[in-house]
Copies of this chain bind each other. A is one copy, B any other.
Amino acid sequence: MTERPAPPVLASPRSERVRAARRLAGRSARSRAGAFLVEGPQAVREAVAGHAPGRPGAVRELFVTADGEARHPGIVAAAGAAGVPVRRCTDQVLAELADTRTPQGLVAVCDLVDVPLATAVEPPPRLVAVLVHVRDPGNAGTVLRAADAAGADAVVLTDSSVDVHNPKAVRATAGSLFHLDVVSGVPVADAVAALRDAGCAVLAADGGGDVAVDDLAGAAEAGTGSLTGPVAWLFGNEAWGLAAGDRALADAVVRVPVHGRAESLNLATAAAVCLYATARAHRPRR
Which residues of chain A have a CB within 8 Å of any CB of chain B? Answer: 42, 46, 142, 145-152, 172, 174-176, 179-180, 214-215, 217-218, 221, 256-266, 268-269, 272-273, 276, 279-280, 283, 285-286
Q: Which residues of B contact A142 (CB under 8 A)?
A: 266, 268-269
A276 to chain B, nearest CB (A): 5
- 9 extra interchain contacts, Cβ-Cβ under 8 A, other than A142-B268, A272-B272? A146-B265, A146-B266, A150-B259, A150-B260, A152-B260, A176-B260, A179-B261, A218-B286, A268-B268
Query: Which residue from B149, B175, B259 sits with its C-beta under 8 Å from A269?
Result: B149
Query: A169 to nearest B CB, angstroms?
Result: 13
Residue in A147, A217, A265 with the greatest tally of chain B CB atoms within 10 Å: A265
Residues of B with C-beta under 8 A to A145: 262, 265-266, 269
Residues of B within 8 A of A172 (CB): 266
A149→B260 contact, CB < 8 A: yes
From A180, which residue of chain B is reached at the shortest CB distance? B260
CB-contact partner of A174 in B152, B260, B266, under 8 A: B266
Write the chain B residue with the least CB distance to A142.
B266
**Interchain Cβ contacts under 8 Å between A and B, 14 examples:** A142-B268, A149-B258, A149-B264, A150-B259, A151-B259, A151-B260, A176-B260, A179-B262, A214-B280, A256-B276, A257-B279, A259-B279, A259-B283, A269-B269
